Structure 1
Amino acid sequence: MSGCFKYMIVTALLLAMQAPLKAQESSYSDLQAIYIYNFAKYTSWPQEFNTFTIAVYDDAAMHKVISQKLVDKTIKGKPIEVKLIYSVTKEDFFHLIYLNRHHSKSLAEVIQNCQQQNTLIVTENDQIKKGAMISFVVIGNKLRFKVNQEALEDKDLIASQGLLSLAMN
């Protein structure tokens, strides 16, 4: 077997193995987007709003997925605006901020800059103990989530009993 032929076989096998991973990753992001929508839908904010704003922290791929999945959706009858952000200042206001696992180091700064606001902070990799209000966790092949009810209450956010009942303890 020639070296070129072996290289082609190995390349084909690697490409074939990556296809399911990309499909799995896409499905994971799609599922997260649906969860994020439901987190927003089943949480109550103390103030009225004309547009519900979701900020995706430095993750263009997830911004695209959420934007596509929520294009015709509403929260409390109001349109949803999905923004891609790279920082959060004290002057910014977002109803919900999503940080993926690669930005967990930025969580403390985001929490600090949202201290005076009613912002729902959603993360990955079980960041509940670090101040996230809702955090995705993967158990086996299942996407689950945890809720920090105390952190929600500190921001005057109220999660529905249905949402709380689906959360992991």
Structure 2
Amino acid sequence: MAVVNRPRIDLAPHGSARGARACPRRRRVLHLAALTLIAGAAAGRARAQEAALPVSVKAAYLYKFLSYVEWPPAAFEGADSPIVIGVHGADDVLAELRQVLAGRTAQGRPLVSRRVAQGDTLAGVHVLFLGQANPADVESWLAPWRERPILLVTDSGRGLGQGSMINFVLVGGRLRFEVSLPAAERSGLKLSSRMLQVAERVVGVR
């Protein structure tokens, strides 16, 4: 008797109703997983951008302040001497500041920024920004320079109490600044009324 080879029949072909139902379900699961990954990455970028925002704003403020401060002539060696901004305890702000200052001037002078460590001389520095630092250490470090024409800018809850002229504060999630006129006057600095008008708080207004 001849043997007839019959073709094998797949009982669950890919084109069956069962397969058709399974594929869309898998696609939906994969799609949701992809959306979750994308949303997580976007949220991470948003948090990073939000965290970086105060850094860029602080750097922008430090640059803008230069146009509203009057230093005594003796604070500079010559008419073309640069305005020097020293930064202590805030390398992220320093990095951003270097980009902001690149190719710019203020009051007709070139601009220079540099890192300052505790114990370094502040001779030739016109603006000093103090990031996160121990207030007691800062006060002892700055004591010999209190009455020198250096604009001291802090980022501390008790910045003005440390003797700074300008202190950054967060108000309603926005970075603002407060000013101490007596501290500026003791150092021989004059602050523009335009700066005072936009300050969150001004100490020593007569």
> 1:120 & 1:91 partners in 2: Cα distance?
11
1:72 aligned onto 2:98: no
Worse-matched range after superposition: 27-36 or 144-153: 27-36
1:103 aligned onto 2:133: yes
Residue 164 of structure 2 is matched in structure 1 by 132
AA aligned opposite 2:133: H
1:35 aligned onto 2:61: yes
Counterpart contact for 2:147–2:188, Cα < 8 Å? no
Cα distance, 1:56 vs structure 2: 0.7
Counterpart contact for 2:85–2:126, Cα < 8 Å? yes
> 2:108 & 2:69 partners in 1: Cα distance?
14
Residue 161 of structure 1 is matched in structure 2 by 193
Residue 83 of structure 2 is matched in structure 1 by 52
> 2:172 & 2:190 partners in 1: Cα distance?
29
Per-residue CA shift, 1:20-76, capped at 9, x if unaligned?
222112221111111111212100000253111000103222111000011122121
Cα distance, 1:108 vs structure 2: 0.7
CA RMSD of aligned residues (A): 2.3
Worse-matched range after superposition: 45-54 or 87-96: 87-96
Cα distance, 1:11 vs structure 2: 9.1
> 2:155 & 2:49 partners in 1: Cα distance?
19
State the secondary structure of the residue aligned to 1:40: helix
TM-score computed with the length of structure 2 as normaliser: 0.69
TM-score computed with the length of structure 1 as normaliser: 0.83
Counterpart contact for 2:148–2:188, Cα < 8 Å? no
Counterpart contact for 2:97–2:113, Cα < 8 Å? yes
1:63 aligned onto 2:89: no
AA aligned opposite 1:77: G
State the secondary structure of the residue aligned to 2:95: helix
> 1:34 & 1:52 partners in 2: Cα distance?
15
1:20 to 1:99, Cα distance in 2 relative to 1, 3 A: same
- Larger RCO (CA under 8 A, 6+ residues apart): 1
1:137 to 1:104, Cα distance in 2 relative to 1, 3 A: farther
Counterpart contact for 1:90–1:114, Cα < 8 Å? no
AA aligned opposite 1:117: R
- Which consecutive residues of structure 2, in runs of 5 or more, have no partner in the other structure? 1-35, 202-206
1:121 to 1:55, Cα distance in 2 relative to 1, 3 A: same
State the secondary structure of the residue aligned to 2:164: coil
Residue 31 of structure 2 is matched in structure 1 by none
> 2:83 & 2:95 partners in 1: Cα distance?
17
